[in-house]
Amino acid sequence: MASGQARLDAILGGGLINPSVALIAGLPGSGKTVLAQQYAFANGTERLPAIYLSTVAEPLSKILYFGEALSFFDPGRVGREVLFEDLSGELDDDGLTGILHRITARVERQPCSLLVIDSFRALRYRGVGERDFEGFVHQLAGHLAATGTMALWLGEYRRDELEGCPEFAVADAAVLLATEDSGQRDNRALRVLKLRGSGFRSGAHAYRIESAGVRVFPRLSDVDAGSYELGERRATSGISALDELVGDGYWPGSATLVIGPSGSGKTVMGLQFIYGGAKLGEPGVYASMQENRVQLERMIGGFGWDVRERAAVLRCDSPNDIYIDQWYYDLLETIRATGAHRLVIDSLGDLAAACPDEKRFREFVYALLNHCSRAGISVLLTYESAELYGHTRLSERGVSHLSDNVILLQYLRNETHVGRALTVLKTRASRHVPQPHEFDITHDGINIKAPLKIV
């Protein structure tokens, strides 16, 4: 059964098995009701409507009131394709026996595409003994299975509470929505705890609750390791002298890491890479977390490049506001929409700040570079170092080994002024000489001079 969102269906191995009983667990405010309504509106039809049954956790009027704020919630379909009903009366009058009779009679009278019970856990808080509730769960699950009814049971459970719950044992699938503390921000994470008869994606997957509903961003992991082909035409760096130093430009699909202190020329080098490609008809995306759009456009205009160049797309995001998984998928959509062959991320350190877990960040960078490599997209990453003059180490994030090319920028101490030097430390499948070259930043961009003597 489709959820109405392709990424969630991909996490579920294609979607929930239909028919089955699926448990959606999570504390209040985690998005259970929103997700269940997405399923209801994605699957309800006049012939097989989706039936949404509320219990005592939240009044039906409140569910409908807040539901109307969601873009997928179509009031014209309510009462025809999506039916909302309240079970609290039966629960007050006849307890679980009345609830069981109401539900079984309902699905026998009118087959449905989906039956939602919100909240299922609330049914146990009416003076019901544990054995009585367990018997109710098994009887209801058996009747739903006999009638081929697809069901979503929503409940306010923590992960550690689920193991002893009869509803978790009976459910064919269980999805947990949770909020995880990450420093000064909270990150929402979706986990599939079980899914019988399907190969689902394990681990924590980021999600957001938006006006369009629950939007999921599958966890980045290893990409298919099968063979793939890349072209032989190299991508110019936009700096002719640098092309010579790295062996006639960058290989398509390669990753270049530019490391240097603040003001050393990393952003300029990234912009020359994008606008150098734009001149050749190769679209590129410049993703900045260092500059806001006004500052970046001022810099671009100062070097004589056209900020309206359609082949050079600018993305400016604040590192304080981004969620790394969402940022990645939004970036991929931008790349697909523009047909980009080049990508600059400025800077890697700001991106890492949005992902405090270093192991997960390295997996993220690996997946990003692997995706771009397979798509033939040449990537340039910048990373700000703390050392101004001599460098005793490269990136602290452990990503330099993932890069095909590593370029080091640093300052030089001269008697009258502070100079700049560039060194190509590493290239894969190319010959290079790791000798520092002095360079200037002029109105045309980076101008590389003669090599420096190493003392």
What's the pLDDT tens digit per position in 290-336?
A: 888 999 999 999 999 999 999 999 999 888 778 888 899 999 999 99
Q: How far is CA 52 from its chain centroid?
A: 30
Distance from first CA to last CA of the chain, Å, rounded? 69
Top-confidence range, 85-99, 311-325, 390-404: 311-325
Q: What is the pLDDT of residue 92?
A: 74
Residue 108 is encoded by which pair of tokens?
Answer: 């026998």
| pLDDT of res. 127 | 60
* Bond before 88 cis per omega within 30 degrees: no
The pLDDT of residue 408 is: 94
What is the per-residue pLDDT across 271-297, written as a single tens digit (0 to 9) for each?
999 999 999 999 999 999 888 899 999
User: Which of 39-48, 186-195, 343-352, 390-399 is the most confident on average?
Assistant: 39-48
**Looking at residue 238, what DSSP letter applies?**
S
- Find the mean pLDDT for residues 129-155: 93
Rounded mean pLDDT, 391-413: 77
206 by DSSP, 3-state: which?
Answer: strand
Q: With cut-offs at 50, 70 and 90, classify the pLDDT of residue 397.
A: low
* Among 32-46, 76-90, 382-396, the least confident range: 382-396
Question: Which comes out higher in pLDDT, residue 331 or 353?
Answer: 331
Q: Is the pLDDT of residue 45 over 60?
A: yes
Q: Cα–Cα distances in Å, from 227 out to 57, 230, 332?
A: 53, 10, 21
Nearest to 436 by CA among 236, 245, 235, 239: 245
Q: What is the pLDDT of residue 164?
A: 85
What average pLDDT score do residues 433-437 get?
86
Burial of 65 (0-12, 13-18, 19+ CB in 10 A): exposed
Predicted confidence at residue 315, as pLDDT, reads: 95
Q: What is residue 398's predicted lDDT score, i.e. its pLDDT?
A: 61
Torsion of CA 89, 90, 95, 96, to 10 degrees: -130
pLDDT confidence of residue 184:
62
Q: Which of 110-119, 139-148, 261-270, 345-354 has the lowest mean pLDDT?
A: 345-354
Contact 111, 19 (CB under 8 A): no
Amino acid letter, 206: A
- Distance, in Å, from the CA atom of 234 to the CA atom of 250, rounded to the nearest integer, reads 5
pLDDT of residue 181: 72
Q: Cα–Cα distance between 327 and 346 in angstroms, integer?
A: 13
Residue found under tokens 């504390």: 27
Tell me what pLDDT residue 391 has. Answer: 60
Q: What is the pLDDT of residues 354-396, one digit of tens each?
A: 887 788 888 889 889 988 998 999 999 999 987 767 665 665 5
Q: According to the model, what pLDDT value does residue 392 have?
A: 58
What is residue 198's predicted lDDT score, i.e. its pLDDT? 82
Contact 122, 131 (CB under 8 A): no
| Average pLDDT across the chain, whole number | 88
Strand ranges for 353-444 from DSSP E: 378-384, 405-413, 418-427, 437-442
3-state helix, strand, coil in the chain (%, to 5): 35, 25, 40
**Range with lowest mean pLDDT among 62-71, 123-132, 235-244, 319-328:** 123-132
Q: What DSSP string runs through 317-342?
A: --TTT--HHHHHHHHHHHHHHHT-SE
Coil vs helix vs strand at 80: coil
Q: Is the pLDDT of residue 223 over 50?
A: no
Residue burial 93-131, b: 16+ Cβ < 10 Å; e: rest:
eebbeebbebbbebbeeeebbbbbbbbbbbbbeeebeee
Cα–Cα distances (Å) from 230 to 244, 269, 369, in that order, read 21, 24, 14
**What φ, ψ does residue 211 adopt, rounded to 5°?**
-65, -25
Specify the pLDDT at position 416.
75
> Is 0.85 topped by the overall pTM?
no
Q: How confident is the model at residue 191 (pLDDT cuts 50, 70, 90)?
A: very high
Say which residue, 220 or 418, is predicted with more confidence. 418
pLDDT at 417: 81
Contact status, residue 222 vs residue 203, Cβ threshold 8 Å: no
pLDDT at 104: 92
